[in-house]
């Protein structure tokens, strides 16, 4: 019976979309197959007044806002893909990022005082009206007692209960999807749903976000692609987060991309490189990089906020990602295919050469062309066909990575419509390959293997009671011996470099 309320909410959501003509909007009828047009025409018999008010993106945005935080998250993702859905549609959905209806300032003030357990008078000199309101929380400009300007983030009252209800509805939808469309089992809708729900649950404790912001500040400090504000720990609690003020203009603002002196290409490059450096070099990345969470300044400064969702990659996943990207950069489709099989992304009963051929069919039409000349909708459809043909299942541990890659690419295209994703990624991927798979890395791995072997032999000897002989320390080598060792190492490095071109 627990699913009965969830089923009711799911039916209500579908009815809301139908009444607003937001499920299959009439504006896209000309590009729909005849069968889909017939279904859409039938559904429009039930459309109401909301179907006549606004463009498709506006109608869908109102529906998603009414449905709650999970639906709003979906709308935020769709808003980044102007290359697929069109600029107007994306702009109309853009208000879901940070321009939702706020709750009153006096309620926010009371929430902060209750969460921190003390009056604001001793902590803040000023507490302003909301400057941004999103699905889970809203932000206020404030001034600390020491004069620093900060942003105070406060969770919406009752949001925990709303997310719990939405999560139950999402789980039910995933189960129904499997029942009505068994062919979609390889997309693992239930596992995907659990990943999304878990990330939402973590977002509801702002102490986790504070810790994530501090961690990402350390990671971003190692490169100059992106920065983030410092945490004010005295203003952190489960439902409140205080950060130093983020300089710049919100990328969600229509005027942001008209700033004087803005270098659009470099700004888009910095976004791609910041994400890849985080994921490849450090194994942790900001997993919600939509326009509402980014501030920019000329010529190409990027400041990120909202660290409620962090993605993490293990060493093996980082290597697979780097080798796949590197293989595409070199057009080495055979290696890209081999990595997919090594990682288990493609079942072993398939032919690796046939998979490499299918990858070439996707990659070749894209390289060397301006982003504006590439249809992402067509490209994604082709990739989806390939994943179905080779029985590729969705990997839950890569859900955040894949979602963030698509979001980041969409934002980069908004910044610079002619942006070349591969050219931006090239130096970061090559840097990782040189460091982790180059001659020096091979020598380091060889030494580590030798050390592990020696330790294993020592443990084996101890287990079998064999005496461990401690030899006297050797005499220090002569200068001639050091010269010979140096020459040998230099020669080996030269041969490895010749054998392993980058």
The least confident of 125-134, 147-156, 168-177, 306-315 is 168-177
Question: Count of residues for the chain?
Answer: 502
User: How many CB atoms within 10 Å of residue 335?
Assistant: 16
d(CA 468, CA 458): 8
Sign of the Cα pseudo-torsion (62, 400, 276, 429, in order):
negative
Question: Does residue 1 register a pLDDT over 60?
Answer: no
d(CA 188, CA 166): 19
Question: Does residue 449 register a pLDDT over 70?
Answer: no
Arithmetic mean of pLDDT, 458-465: 68
The pLDDT of residue 489: 46
The pLDDT of residue 467: 56
* 485: confidence class by pLDDT, cuts 50, 70, 90: very low
288 is catalytic: yes
Question: Does residue 81 register a pLDDT over 70?
Answer: no
State which of 34-38, 280-284, 323-327 shows the largest mean pLDDT. Answer: 280-284
Arithmetic mean of pLDDT, 221-226: 92
* 214: confidence class by pLDDT, cuts 50, 70, 90: very high
The pLDDT of residue 321: 86
The pLDDT of residue 403: 78
The pLDDT of residue 26: 85
Arithmetic mean of pLDDT, 346-371: 83
Domain-wise residue ranges, the chain:
3-98, 160-200, 246-437, 439-465+477-499
The pLDDT of residue 176: 80
C-alpha dist (Å) from residue 380 to 99, 450, 492:
29, 45, 45
The pLDDT of residue 83: 59
Residue 227 has φ and ψ, to the nearest 5°, of -130, 175
Question: Does residue 293 register a pLDDT over 80?
Answer: yes
Give the pTM.
0.75
Question: Does residue 473 register a pLDDT over 80?
Answer: no
Please measure the distance between the N-terminal and C-terminal CA atoms of the chain and give it in whole angstroms. Answer: 60
Give the pair of three-digit tokens for residue 86: 């069109």
Question: For all residues of the chain together, what is the average pLDDT?
Answer: 82
Arithmetic mean of pLDDT, 180-209: 78
* 376: confidence class by pLDDT, cuts 50, 70, 90: low
The least confident of 78-82, 98-102, 209-213 is 78-82
Choice among 288, 306, 416, 420 that is catalytic: 288
State which of 145-149, 254-258, 340-344, 372-376 shows the largest mean pLDDT. Answer: 145-149
User: How many CB atoms within 10 Å of residue 203?
Assistant: 23
The pLDDT of residue 64: 87
C-alpha torsion 276→281→283→286, nearest 10? -40
């Amino acid at each position: 019976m627990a699913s009965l309320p969830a089923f009711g909410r799911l039916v209500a959501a579908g009815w809301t979309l139908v009444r607003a003509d937001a499920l299959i909007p009439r504006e896209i009828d000309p590009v729909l197959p005849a069968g889909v047009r017939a279904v859409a025409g039938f559904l429009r018999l039930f459309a109401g007044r909301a179907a006549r008010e606004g463009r498709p993106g506006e109608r869908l945005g109102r529906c998603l806002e009414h449905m709650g935080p999970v639906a709003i998250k979906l709308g935020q993702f769709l808003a980044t893909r102007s290359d697929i859905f069109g600029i107007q549609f994306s702009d109309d959905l853009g208000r879901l990022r940070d321009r939702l209806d706020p709750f009153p300032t006096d309620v926010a003030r009371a929430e902060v005082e209750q969460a921190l357990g003390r009056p604001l008078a001793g902590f803040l000199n000023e507490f302003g009206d909301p400057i941004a309101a999103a699905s889970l929380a809203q932000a206020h400009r404030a001034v600390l007692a020491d004069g620093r300007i900060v942003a105070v983030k406060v969770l919406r009252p009752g949001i925990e209960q709303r997310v719990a209800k939405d999560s139950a509805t999402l789980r039910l939808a995933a189960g129904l999807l499997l029942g009505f469309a068994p062919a979609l089992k390889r997309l693992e809708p239930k596992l995907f749903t659990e990943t999304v729900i878990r990330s939402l649950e973590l977002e509801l404790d702002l102490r986790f976000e504070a810790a994530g912001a501090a961690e990402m500040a350390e990671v971003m400090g190692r490169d100059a692609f992106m920065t983030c504000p410092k945490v004010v720990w005295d203003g952190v609690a489960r439902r409140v987060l205080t950060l130093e003020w983020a300089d710049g203009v919100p990328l969600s603002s229509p005027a942001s991309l008209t700033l004087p002196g803005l270098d659009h290409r470099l700004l888009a490059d910095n976004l791609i490189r910041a994400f890849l450096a985080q994921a490849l070099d450090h194994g942790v990345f900001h997993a919600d990089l939509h326009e509402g969470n980014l501030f920019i300044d000329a010529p190409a400064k990027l400041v990120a906020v909202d660290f409620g969702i962090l993605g993490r990659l293990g060493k093996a996943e980082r290597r697979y990602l780097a080798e796949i990207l590197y293989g595409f950069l070199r057009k080495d489709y055979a290696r890209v295919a081999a990595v997919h099989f090594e990682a288990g992304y493609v079942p072993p009963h398939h032919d690796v050469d046939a998979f490499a051929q299918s990858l070439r069919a996707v990659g070749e039409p894209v390289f060397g062309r301006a982003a504006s000349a590439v249809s992402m909708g067509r490209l994604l459809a082709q990739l989806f066909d390939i994943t179905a043909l080779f029985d590729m299942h969705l990997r839950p541990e890569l859900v955040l990575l894949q979602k963030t890659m698509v979001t980041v690419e969409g934002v980069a295209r908004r910044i610079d419509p002619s942006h070349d994703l591969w050219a931006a990624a090239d130096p970061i991927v090559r840097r990782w390959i040189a460091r982790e798979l180059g001659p020096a890395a091979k020598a380091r791995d060889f030494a580590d293997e030798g050390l592990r072997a020696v330790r294993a032999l020592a443990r084996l000897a101890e287990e079998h009671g064999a005496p461990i002989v401690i030899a006297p320390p050797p005499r220090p080598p002569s200068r001639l011996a050091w010269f010979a060792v140096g020459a040998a190492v230099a020669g080996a490095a030269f041969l490895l470099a010749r054998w392993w071109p980058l």
